Amino acid sequence: SRAFTAKGDGFLYCEDRRVQDVMESVPEKRPFYLYSKPQLSRNFLAYQSALQGISSIVGYAIKANNNVKILEHFRSLGSGAVLVSGNELRLALHAGFDPTRCVFNGNGKLPEELVLAAQNDVLVNIDSEFDLAHIVEAGKIANKCVRVLLRINPDVDPQVHPYVATGNKNSKFGIRNEKLQWFLDEIKQHPNEVKLVGAHCHLGSTITKASISFFLFLLRKCVPQVNIFRDAALLMVQYMDEIKSQGFDLKYLNIGGGLGIDYYHTGAVLPTPRDLVDTVRDLVVSRGLTLIMEPGRSLVANAAALVNRVTGVKTNGNKNFIVIDGSMSELIRPSLYDAYQHIELVAPAGSDAEVKTYDVVGPVCESADFLGKNRELPTPKRGDGIVVHDAGAYCMSMASTYNLKMRPPEYWIEDDGSITKIRHAETFDDHLRYFEGL
């Protein structure tokens, strides 16, 4: 079920609340993010129930959304965390995550960040020769034996936007298989500083072409490419078998994140966490491994919308524009990746509202400042509510203050339908504070 749906009365709801009513009760008259807490729970439980009977860690990729309340919620449901910076690690600790169920990823982890990870017994992915050297150094400084996973680049094509593909051969992430032996030899040299415990891969993000039904699973040999996750996992366990034969005791297979969501709202059948788990289950169980997954988007994206107001409507030449108060500063994915996010008015249009093809744009001084292009929408009036859907992942966490828009407040709908603020609005005074006393 979807958190945000238009019901029979034509109004858009978040769970059982009209978004229009929420807009009226929120004191800030500016764009805000609205989340459904029940949807966050449903998304997490989809992973948890798929993983029944498998030793596993769901590591929420907190770069997707670093709201502390959301982190605490996932932690309370049993989540681990996937981190890409020292500050993300600090935030995970602040939110109470068990550091031994956290993974530190990245191609440019700083030596001091690695020391922090070592001190806290976080799992660390090795990304390169220099990265391994820095991890060994951190182990020495922290006087810890760091548990490490080798991030292997599986060289598969997830068929996504090149900016979010990470496991192909020209990617800056991970190590290539022909270098594997060098890493194993190097690790053997440092038994007090590093302990190799697993392998990691991450194919990319927004993956929707990995769908696998049981029927297709049986047909797999005739339908190659149907499941890149299994292709990658198969490769990984082959590497792991080889690594184990050299005396390493490997425990973790980390298959990364990457599951896409139905941004187009077409109701298309997309691969679910269960599909993903089922494609790798046998590989993991037969080897007695612990499966690590690193979902970001599929846990948070569909649980939020950016709620905006219409400032006005204009026509230039043959283009129609709906100008709203939200912009690329609050939500940059359309500008940056040409990403599609569904846009909808929160209240039914009057019978006199003409449906036209609109670009939905913000007030920022950039032609790239659009939230959606060529959308069929009823002509709205000043002040009407208009939402950008599926805004829970990589939206607030990528927001900026460009044009001094200041980052928006965040609210969620609780399980009982009440509204709670979960992040303060950033204000103009916050900006001035950076210059105090200079």
Considering only residues 311 to 350 of the shown chain, the ones binding ligand LLP according to CB under 6 A are 333, 337
Closest approach of ligand LLP to the CB of residue 80, in Å: 12
CA distance 58 to 67: 18
Cβ closest to ligand LLP, residue 105 vs residue 308? 105
Tell me which of 139, 273, 296, 372 binds ligand LLP, using CB under 6 A: 296
Yes or no: say if 153 and 130 are a contact pair by the CB < 8 Å rule.
no
Stretch that binds ligand LLP, among 7-15, 18-26, 199-207, 212-220 (CB under 6 A): 199-207
Instruction: Give the one residue of 39, 43, 79, 105 binding ligand LLP; rule: CB under 6 A.
Output: 105
The whole-angstrom separation of Cα 393 and Cα 379 is 29
Helices 111-119 & 129-142 angle (0-180, nearest 10)? 50
- The backbone region for 283, taken as left when phi is positive above 0, alpha when psi lies in -120 to 50, beta otherwise, is alpha
Residue 408 to residue 197: CA distance in whole angstroms: 41
Q: Which of 31, 139, 154, 257 touches ligand LLP by CB under 6 A?
A: 257
Q: Which helix (H) or strand (E) element contains residue 87?
A: helix 86-94
- Choose the catalytic residue: 102, 201, 365, 395: 365
- Rule CB under 6 A: say whether 164 interacts with ligand LLP: yes
Q: How many CA atoms lie within 13 A of 321 on its CB side?
A: 16
Query: Contact, 89 vs 106, CB < 8 A?
Result: no
Q: Identify the residue among 3, 82, 92, 261 touching ligand LLP (CB under 6 A).
A: 82
Q: What is the dihedral of CA 35, 39, 45, 50, to 10 degrees?
A: -120
Question: Residue 396's closest CA among 29, 62, 60, 27?
Answer: 62
Bridge-partner residues for 36, per DSSP? 413
Examine residue 166 and tell whether it contacts ligand LLP (CB under 6 A).
yes
Site for ligand LLP contains 252 (CB under 6 A) = no
- Kindly write out the interface string for residues 37-76 of this chain, putting x where it contacts ligand LLP by CB under 6 A and - elsewhere: ------------------------x--x------------
Cα 31 from Cα 24, distance rounded (Å): 12
Residue number with CB closer to ligand LLP (259 or 347): 259
Interaction of residue 294 with ligand LLP, rule CB under 6 A: yes
Q: Cα(195)–Cα(249) distance, rounded to whole angstroms?
A: 9
258 binds ligand LLP (CB under 6 A): yes
Judged by beta carbon, residue 34 or residue 103, the one nearer ligand LLP is: 103
Stretch that binds ligand LLP, among 47-55, 94-102, 256-264, 283-291 (CB under 6 A): 256-264
CB of 17 to ligand LLP, least distance (A): 27
Q: Are 92 and 116 in contact (CB under 8 A)?
A: no
What minimum distance in Å lies between the beta carbon of 334 and ligand LLP?
10
We find the least distance from the C-beta atom of residue 95 to ligand LLP, in angstroms, to be 18
- CA 281 – CA 288 distance, rounded (Å): 11
263 by DSSP, 3-state: which? coil
197: tokens are 């415990």
* 256 is an interface residue for ligand LLP by CB under 6 A: yes
- Look up 102 and say whether it is catalytic: no
154 is a site residue for ligand LLP (CB under 6 A): no
Choice from 109, 147, 202, 423 touching ligand LLP (CB under 6 A) = 202
Pick from 167, 295, 372, 380 the residue near ligand LLP by CB under 6 A.
295
- Regarding 198 and contact with ligand LLP (CB under 6 A), the answer is no
Q: Does 394 bind ligand LLP (CB under 6 A)?
A: yes
Helix (H) or strand (E) holding 37: helix 37-50
Q: How far is the CB of 283 from ligand LLP (least distance, A)?
A: 19
In the bound state with ligand LLP, the residue whose beta carbon lies nearer, of 22 and 160, is 160
Quick one: which segment of 33-41, 221-229, 251-259, 360-368 binds ligand LLP (CB under 6 A)?
A: 251-259
Give the per-residue contact string, 121-140, with ligand LLP (x = CB under 6 A; - = no): --------------------
User: Which of 261, 382, 272, 268 is CA-nearest to residue 333?
Assistant: 261
The C-alpha atoms of residue 295 and residue 260 are separated, in whole angstroms, by 10
- The angle, 0 to 180 degrees and rounded to 10, between the axes of the packed helices 68-77 and 37-50 is 40
Nearest C-alpha neighbor of 120 from the set 95, 96, 140, 93:
93
Please say which residue, 36 or 206, places its beta carbon nearer to ligand LLP.
206
Kindly list the catalytic residues. Answer: 365
Binding site for ligand LLP (CB under 6 A): 61, 64, 82, 105, 164, 166, 202, 205-206, 256-259, 294-298, 333, 337, 393-394
